Structure 1
Amino acid sequence: MDVITGGTGQVAGGTRPQTGPALETHGLTRSYGARVAVDSVELLVERGVVLGLLGPNGAGKTTLIRMLSTVLRCDAGSFRVAGVAHTDPVRIRRAVGVLPESAGYPRGQTCEEWLTLHARLFGVRRRDARALAARLLGEVGLEDRRRSLIAGLSRGMRQRLGIARALVNDPEVVFLDEPTLGLDPFGQRQVLDLVTRIAREHGVTVVLSTHVLDEVEQICDRVVILNRGRVVADGTMAEVVRRAAAPREGRLEVPADHRARALDTLAAHHVPAEPGANGHLGMVRLELPGDVAPEDSSAAALRCLLDAGVPVLGFSVEGGRLSDAFLRVTRGDGDE
């Protein structure tokens, strides 16, 4: 990365633009030999969004992040990050923070020394760099480790330190590539809470690349799914689930002596259903189509039962699942 210098005591780069999207790509393409890793990607991401970037192994997630952060050149297409065109990579680097999938850390430096060094590389005055490092360590919960050698940190602590490093230049867009990989559930929760907090308190756009769908459901405003280098789904959680026609599960309770009749009635109306698996003789599980509004599909199922004289004691519908949508739009593709 180019050294970015300035003499103001603040990170060099000028005043942040306040309008326009955080990310914009047009026909973005990158190949490795004969293999197309990213294929004509079109994206428009508004500011302040936490974006979940999903896809099977080899889908192109890391390559896309490396292009947007100017580590790799694109073969075709164009993009803008924080309003800056891809033809000005130095300005883009001033505007982004990155935690790569396999981040390396020096073993012989303390947390404070390492962050201070990076602050200096981004043009922060010497007398201010140490204060910035201390503030960021406090934000990521490592204040008591400021003088600890990085070699002695747990993996979860190193990931939080890497997020602090990604914030050292006060970025507008932060790319986090598999930030919870290899962490235990407590460490995962700490990192996810931190991601949510920095998005809110720093007002940044966060791109979270992960294989853990539950993480995306917990903290992301929007989802983009890549498959074989192409965008196959893009939108809010509800939009992605609906567009992928991911089914919803309904749970129906009828008197035990009416369950057989309920199953027959639903089958006659082409509603997939089966006895509930919890031992309750009056429970029925049914599958509702994901491409129909849940209130419409559930009303139709209830109507056919009531018209047939089947008493309904209870009815609930689970929300569409991101995992179902993911499998539908990436079906048949494994590691590449």
Structure 2
Amino acid sequence: MSEQAEVLERLAAWADAGLGVALAAVMRTWGSAPRRPGSLLGVNARGEFVGSVSGGCVEAAVIEAALEVIAGGGPPRVLDYRVTDERAWQVGLACGGALQVYVERPGRELVRELLAALAAKEPVVLATEVATGAPRLVRPHAPDPGLDPALAQAAREASLRDRTGVVETPGGALFLRAFNPPVRVVLVGAVQIAQALAPMARLAGYDVLVIDPRRAFATEERFPGTALAVEWPDAALARAGLDRHTAVVTLTHDPKLDDPALAAALRSEAFYVGCLGSARTQAGRLERLAAMGFGPGDLARLRGPVGLPIGAVSPGEIAVSILAQLVAALRRPEPPAT
């Protein structure tokens, strides 16, 4: 489950139980602030919280402000945390770090709408008037003739870049937060490396699907809590659908399983396509895919041998190298070459 979904689900549950709630979000950061813009912290009237806006550095101060917003029922608050010698110990920021946090009382229906969009894998952008807290849910990839063109463009960019930020409009500042579908990691081959990689990817907040037609391999006992598709990859991937929020990793060394999955991934917008195997195995794989009609541009998308070159040996170490390379592809415009 993604961090966004976890925070929103807890907020919805607290609100359904009759508790007042507040939502804090990082608006901007400077220097060595530990969490990026868009990071969320949910708080209820009892002081219970979920999520993080600073990795523990300023949570106590933000929770205190959130409780005041809940109790007072007033407008949102913008909190600035900057390091001085006097305040460094008080708020715990690293030297040179600063962040700005927005604290608001979200409506129950808005929280439900955001959760529904995440469940439906529909990208949305929450555009909030900074001064008043008035929210507007923008569907950046759906036509909306009534939407201001500048806001529509800003929302599309926020969604495509998975970014949070503040934009100035004639009507005042808007706080834009992208709520994109959770990253999905598809592992082809229910092998030992997949047993290590699946829980690691889930801990990172990604949805995981393991595909393998071999019933002895793809079992709940071997992959507790992981979605399984006990069928051939081409059929499973056609049903699952691959988009720009999807990573595909083949792990079997078997062309009958790996090649159809790679072909499906290369025909999609998947942001990461990785293949386990030696350089020699990769060379043969590229020849087979070229024979299927894939050109040099398509084949250049393949990460193989998969994973960062950290000298990994064990299944667990190889899983770490794969996940690290996947995260780099997701978070960096141009991941480092391997």
TM-score range, shorter chain: under 0.3
Q: Using structure 1 for the length normalisation, give the TM-score.
A: 0.25
- Which one has the largest radius of gyration? 1
Q: Using structure 2 for the length normalisation, give the TM-score.
A: 0.25
